[in-house]
A and B are shown apart, each in its own frame.
Chain A
């Protein structure tokens, strides 16, 4: 993507396209591990959804159903915060892919 020159930018360093972070696939930062959802153990408390720094917990029809790996960085906060005795989220090993910048 061609980056703007200083004269092309909005003054005051404003971002005029609020919400454009959807184009930033933070999932490319993930290295070595990812969360896995165990639906049977889930009590739908939404802690994982609340704590996830990247809105990567998938919610469908009012229920947590897993993760959006395009944005999940594998930080493990969701698994840490999941309050059930038998965890509904566990971190599992994942083979790291080398991804070129800007490509999915």
Chain B
């Protein structure tokens, strides 16, 4: 039976994992995602899942187990955060290069130094070129819905690419809210049977996984890998639509909030988008024609669709919860600015880095951005393209 439950983000992911019941869960606990692993372990101890639960000595090993289990022919998942994801680095590229549809819940949080346990997107933004599909969630419900869809997307035979689902550390992982947990059987029927491709455990067909490539084949194999993620937009759309038809919540590449007649817009991902929408409502009631665009899929980056959605806006602010030291703007900004390059009509665009290490972002900060956008829209002049929000200066 489907039911509304009061769950935090970690419990929500664990609930989805219980329903999906993967063949193998391999994970090492790390704050703030610890409770995902802990809750799944409890499910296993209580006999509620049949998954093989492996708790290795590190995240590097956890991802290695995932890779081995996926190559063997299993449906596999893990969960981690920040330093844990950083320790998985080497193996992230291997999962992607071998086209193994591992699914990972990443509770987004800052990277050391300084040591910090709070939420930002430094971890997954750093992994943006590892070849994984990246989907971000605004709240617990989206984390649940995204996590379920991730299996269908990654396992699609044209895609066969690992998928990570991001949810903000503490703000989502540790905040309880009502989540509609769908019926177990309905979720299972949506996910369907896992169809392994050339599994190692099929001894009738002997294969080698991960042999060495020299100058003669590496480049071709890498190009072949890229094809998987390039095939994924169609699948992401199909799965998002099918999920909506079945469960009533439709998903695309991004969400547009009050963008219809907007003159200015704020682009922001994940939990801050919730605060942003409140700010937009207040600003709208004050007469400002402002909207919000919340990217959901960051890899593959929906460059054409986002550019189409923004091209007629006068001034856009992209908010990034990660920095890219030395780069021309933070990750989301550089993608969007580049996506708009070919358009004759395009907005003035600015970038604000916000919320590093869990620094608050509230309605007032969005209003600050809105005021700056308004001035840019009126004057057509950008005084400061790259800035910081709620930083003591």
Contact = CB atoms under 8 A, between A and B. Distances in A.
Contact of A9 (B100, B206, B211, B220): B220
Interface in B201-236: 205-211, 213, 216-217, 219-221, 223-225, 227-228
B198 A16 contact: yes
Q: Dominant SS at the B interface?
A: loop
Nearest to A10: B198
A16 B208 CA distance: 7
A12 B206 contact: no
Contacts of B299: none
Interface string B30-66: 0000000000000000000000000000000000000
A4 B209 CA distance: 18
B98 interface: yes
A48 to B, nearest CB: 25
B363 interface: no
Contacts of A9: 217, 220-221, 224
Interface string A75-98: 000000000000000000000000
Interface footprint category on B: 20 to 34
Interface string B87-106: 00000000001111000000
A93 B209 CA distance: 38
Q: Top 8 nearest A-B pairs by Cβ distance? A: A12-B99, A18-B206, A15-B208, A6-B220, A6-B223, A13-B221, A12-B98, A6-B224
Given A9-B221, A11-B224, A18 B99 contact: no
B220 A4 contact: yes
Interface in A23-76: none
A3 B207 contact: no
